[in-house]
Structure 1
Amino acid sequence: MLRFTAIITVLVGLLLGSFSGIGAGVAQENETLTTPSLVVDLDTGAVLHAEAAGHPWYPASTAKLMTALITFQALERGDVDLSTPVILSHNAMDQSAAYAGLKVGNAMTLEDALYAVLVGSANEVAVALAETVAGTEAAFVDLMNAQADRLGLTATHFTNPNGLFDQKQTVSARDLAVLGRDLFQVYPDYRRMFRTAAVTIDDKELISYNELITRYPGTLGLKTGFVCSAGRNIVAIAERDGKRLLAVVLGATTGRERSERTAKLFDDAFAGNLTANGQALAELPNASETQPEDMRMRLCSNETAAYEAGQNRRYPMGLPGAPSYLKDPVSAPTYSFQTWFVPQPEFVPVPSAKPVQAVELMTTPQASGAKFEIVPPSKPPLPRS
């Protein structure tokens, strides 16, 4: 009798568990999430659309926009120039995501490094660039946070120059819009870098994840980013008939969703369907006391397929049978360069932040008479298109 009761109990448990699993699956598949988005008039700062724009979010590689800004400031001060060597240190190569095919000791000009970071999103090069500009990665991050304070980015805190995940590293759509607008308006000489579609490093091509550059006419750049906890982020600028707009979309599920949502926001704003409500970008509040939404379980787990299905129903643009806001591919500038090699023994210090035309390194601590000279190219390579 006890055995019969136990069998019945197990069968009932399995049956209830099956129904529970089906219910949970339906709930997950029906789940959708409104992630932050923002559109502003680039020239006036007028807000045309804002949804959860002040909610803290993980930046992913959009953090590299601040890395660019700090580097541009160093260029303006004359601390470095575009031909300053940037050398891949052991610390720079010690990144969890380094996929540009580089090794410790690979060197490039600072201009090359900016293209590698802003177009190819090379995480290791972002760290090497930080070390070149500020001496150490930590000192560079201090500069990033000081600049965030000056710009009033109250939801923003940086812990590294490349955007790799850290729970303490946050932004908001509002803050990214302020940052992107400042970059575009204050440093026009470097806009060309943001609208470049691909960079080739030593014959390895890295294509920009900003699909708008080649699929949305009038796109002027900026930056995308992805880590599991952030989803797919973008800060983009587009121009049409003399009107310039800046859009931010955070937490998209797929690259298609990110590009299509951003293109639709641009289309709606250019068509006059999104209009100013009297609020300026600088006046948008941040919800700094709230915690960022962590997208990891939705985007990088066994729950991903169900969540993505729900988001596809919410944002079907570009899927078979649905209209697309992207256009046929158009040509865009590309950039190519070759690195050279500077041996990096463990004891060799990080490269100086000051421009140097030659570097003398000891081959070993004992070989006091053995020296060699590394001379970078006299002229940085020109972009190709």
Structure 2
Amino acid sequence: MPLVRRFLLALVLYLAALVPVWATPLLVVDRANLDVLYAQDAGKPWHPASLTKLMTAYVVFEQLALGTVTLETPVKISRNAWNQAASKSGLEIDSTVSLKDALYILIVKSANDIAVAIAETVGTDEADFVAKMNDAARRMGLTATHFVNPHGLHDPAQVTSARDLAIIALYIEQSFPQYMPMFDTGVVNLGKQRMESNNGLLEGFAGTTGMKTGYVCASGLNIVATVDRDGRRLLAVVLGGSSARERNERAAGLFLEALDGRLRPTGQNILALTNAVGAPPTDMRPLICGKEAKAYVAAQEAEFPMGLGDNPSYLTEEIQLSEYTAVDLGRLRTGIAFPRPRPAHMPMFSTPPAVESASVDGTLRPSIPVSGVNVALPRPRPADL
């Protein structure tokens, strides 16, 4: 090895030794009975990044149930929406998609312009929609959570915890199970665009049913994931990953530990976990995007090398990603009925029963066991064309 490369490698290892490996929030919940199987800093305040969009979607589902909007309601890209930072849908100003298509793009692509466009459509304006998000958080008992925007782009006041994120995900499944296929979708096609999910478990860990990833410098790389496998129904939250590899591999590893019995009930229900109310949220910017990032990533890789280089990976199955086709309806013209071509294979959603909405009783209940929860392992990936 050339002398310069040896020196650089030694320097990286030395710096890595100086940077402590952070204990970032981890949480595993049995969705069948709400038992906590593992919790590490689950109540620590954290910036949610695009995990915010779980609540954005939930508020839309509530409004669909109330009848204020429908899945066919047109969602227009305003200039305000178009001006949002990436990730974006690629739609032009005044372009429209149906609310159903917008939800798929929101969840799979994590498009920030679509998040604002949805907020402006479902609420009287973006601020009204954010107020609805915070009202839902209050009704859910999310004591560490406060929203400032519907997309998750960084704001110091946008904060949550692993515990609260798990509860949002559980409420979505309990209250609106008919929309869960949106979170299981790996690809959205829109015109010539092919938008792929960043949830690596969808194509590498059999039984994964969703849900959402997120990243800003201040949060690190986050994921809320759900798995139905071997008769178990599990949920994991990983916050503050130093890379997508680490985030995805840690989530898969936690699922495997739960499935083989290494993680057992702690005696706590998810609702009994407490949040560190009033504590400032952790700011990961120096470690993820700042001058300490190189050493921090090296330290994290040394601590958790799964899926790195020649190390084994937990994401070994080859799974065919579920795809959805959205339609750009063009620019909205007042008073003109626009065409609505639909691909023949689109899934249909049933009307949600009123008793299964948090807006009715605000009670998070253990999930009802679903028959046929086992999945064939693995589902084959189609041959490359």
- Structure 1 and Structure 2 fold alike (TM over 0.5): yes
> Which whole-Å CA distance do the structure 2 matches of 1:189 and 1:180 have between them?
14
| Further displaced range: 254-263 or 299-308 | 299-308
What's the counterpart of residue 23 of structure 2? 34
Distance 2:258 2:87 in 1: 37
CA offset digits 1:141-177 (Å, max 9, x no partner): 0000000000000000000111110000001000000
Shift in CA distance, 24/316, structure 1 to aligned 2, threshold 3 Å: closer
| Deviations 1:166-223 (CA, angstroms, capped at 9, x unpaired) | 0000010000001101101211110110000011222111110001011100001010
1:86 is paired with a residue of what secondary structure? strand
**In the alignment, which of 334, 337, 344 is matched to residue 359 of structure 1?**
334
Superimposed CA distance per residue, residues 18-40 of structure 1 (whole angstroms, 9 cap, x where no aligned partner): xxxx8996366542111000001
Q: Which residue matches 2:117?
A: 128
Shift in CA distance, 246/327, structure 1 to aligned 2, threshold 3 Å: same
Q: Is the 8 A contact 1:109 1:380 kept in 2?
A: no
Q: 1:381 to 1:107 in 2, by over 3 A?
A: farther
Residue aligning to 1:309: 298
8 A contact 1:83–1:379 mirrored in 2: no
Q: Show the counterpart of 2:212.
A: 223
Superposition CA RMSD, Å:
2.0
Does 1:237 pair with 2:226? Answer: yes
Q: Report the Cα distance in structure 2 between the residues aligned to 1:27 and 1:237, rounded to whole angstroms.
A: 32
Counterpart of 1:186, as a letter, is S
Which has the larger displacement, 110-119 or 323-332?
323-332
CA displacement, residues 315-339 of structure 1 (integer Å, 9 cap, x when unaligned): 1111123221111321021111221
Amino acid at match of 1:156: T
User: Which protein shows a greater Rg?
Assistant: 1
Structure 2 spans left out of the alignment, 5+ residues: 1-10, 348-381
**DSSP-derived class of the 2:282 partner:** coil
- TM-score between both structures, scaled by the size of structure 2: 0.84
For the Cα contact (< 8 Å) 2:26–2:39, is it kept in 1?
yes
Q: Which amino acid aligns with 2:106?
A: V
Q: How many residues align?
A: 338
Query: In the aligned structure 2, how far is the partner of 1:334 from the partner of 1:126?
Result: 20
1:261 aligns with 2:250: yes
Residue matched to 1:54: 43
The Cα shift of 1:378 comes to 6.2
In 2, Cα distance between the equivalents of 1:133 and 1:327?
Answer: 40
Residues 1:166 and 2:141 are matched in the alignment: no
Residue 301 of structure 1: SS of its match in structure 2?
A: coil
Q: Which one of the candidate residues 313, 317, 338 is aligned to 1:375? A: 338
The alignment-based identity, stated in percent, is: 45
Tell me what 1:332 maps to. 321
* DSSP 3-state at the match of 1:139: helix
User: Could you tell me which residue of structure 2 aligns to residue 64 of structure 1?
Assistant: 53
AA in 2 matched with 1:359: T
- TM-score (norm: length of structure 1): 0.84
Contact 1:87–1:105 (Cα < 8 Å) also in 2? yes
- The answer to whether structure 1 residue 208 and structure 2 residue 197 are counterparts is yes
User: 8 Å contact 2:12–2:295 — kept in the other structure?
Assistant: no
Counterpart of 2:100 (choices 100, 108, 111) is: 111
